[in-house]
Structure 1
Amino acid sequence: MQKNNITSTLLLAAAMLCPLSVFAQQTSATADIQDLASSPRWLTTKVYIEGAPQTDVKEKYPGVVGISTWDPERNRYEFFYTDTGESKYDNGGGGYFFVTGDQKTHVLVPDMGTTKTVVRRLETLSSNEFTYSREVPRDMKENNPPVRIYVVHAPYTGTVVTKSAIKPDTNTN
């Protein structure tokens, strides 16, 4: 019992001598989730592989290319095809999202489809650019070695009309 009291006293003394800021992890201002709301729609403008930012490989990764909408107030997202504006919702292209407290990770939780969650590293988030990266099989083909792709978006100003397949929340408080 004596050892526990001495140990507890020493730990308490050490904690009092160290400022709390030593233990707190500083968060960087790398992203402001509200920047996703700065544009009603975002367009994939470029996809590149880590180490080769000069080479656009969008054609090899069509699954990550499209128009997207983000609603930070409801934490909802939806993806659309760039040519037709048709929703990708039924294939995992819509659901909930969140950004982790350190503002470095962007997580998607689709409402439908085979994928349960998608974890992406948030690279840039501003009112002019939204870029994330994640590891995928090279050329999105099973059994290929993984590569890190960077997916760059800009606010969409085109004429393709998108129609949401997500049903509005009926349970609003």
Structure 2
Amino acid sequence: MKKHNLIFSLILATGMLSPLASQAQPAVENYDASALGTSPRWLTTKVYIEGAPEIDVKDKYPGVVGISAWDPQRNRYEFFYTDTGLSKYDNGGGGYFMVTGDRKNHILIPDKGATRTIVRKLETLNNQEFTYSREVPRDMIDANPLVRIHVVHAPYTGSVKTTPTH
């Protein structure tokens, strides 16, 4: 009887550990949704096309460049122009956001504007850097083929004042 209990226990333990081992994934590093709240504002510091991180193409993608404010307590965001601090809210630059449970995607749901949902892949998210990537038409010209751009942000410490509208 003891032999059967031992065998049963080994089979049970193997069955319990096997699914865990086969489905286990390494912990995702540098992805903490609360890190958006570690800085009240973030500044776009670089935009590059996938495969060419050494070439900054911010001037070709002005729609993704700016100062952004994130409120993880309310899941709200708002974007601002870097030169004036004026809000981009009326053009889809404000609304709700979420980070998916697997912490791989950052989803924006604008309150206004033509686009209803924007899904962005989280590349890095910690208290020093917020980087996402997404597919857009090359140079933001609708007729061009899609490219994946990476948009890099750092905590904003400049003097431009921003005032949330919502």
Q: TM-score range by the shorter chain?
A: 0.7 to 0.9
- 1:57 matched to 2:57? The reply is yes
Q: Is the 8 A contact 2:60 2:140 kept in 1?
A: yes
1:165: Cα distance to partner?
1.3
State the partner residue of 1:21. Answer: 20
State the partner residue of 2:120. Answer: 120
In structure 2, C-alpha distance between the alignment counterparts of 1:56 and 1:123, rounded to whole Å? 17
Q: Write the deviation string for residues 116-163 of structure 1: whole angstroms up to 9, x where unpaired.
A: 000000000111100000000000001100000000000001000101
In structure 2, the gaps of 5 or more residues are 1-10
The TM-score, its normalising length taken from structure 2, stands at: 0.86
In structure 1, C-alpha distance between the alignment counterparts of 2:29 and 2:41, rounded to whole Å? 23
- 1:110 matched to 2:141? The reply is no
Task: Please show how residues 82-161 of structure 1 align to structure 2 within 5 Å.
Answer: 82-161=82-161
Q: Percent identity?
A: 66
1:30: Cα distance to partner?
3.8
The TM-score, its normalising length taken from structure 1, stands at: 0.83
Q: 1:30 to 1:102 in 2, by over 3 A?
A: farther
In structure 1, the gaps of 5 or more residues are 1-12, 167-173
How many residues align? The count is 154
- Aligned-partner SS, 1:136: strand
State the partner residue of 1:45. Answer: 45
In structure 2, C-alpha distance between the alignment counterparts of 1:70 and 1:138, rounded to whole Å? 27
Q: Is the 8 A contact 1:30 1:104 kept in 2?
A: no
Cα RMSD for the two superposed structures: 1.9
State the partner residue of 2:5. Answer: none
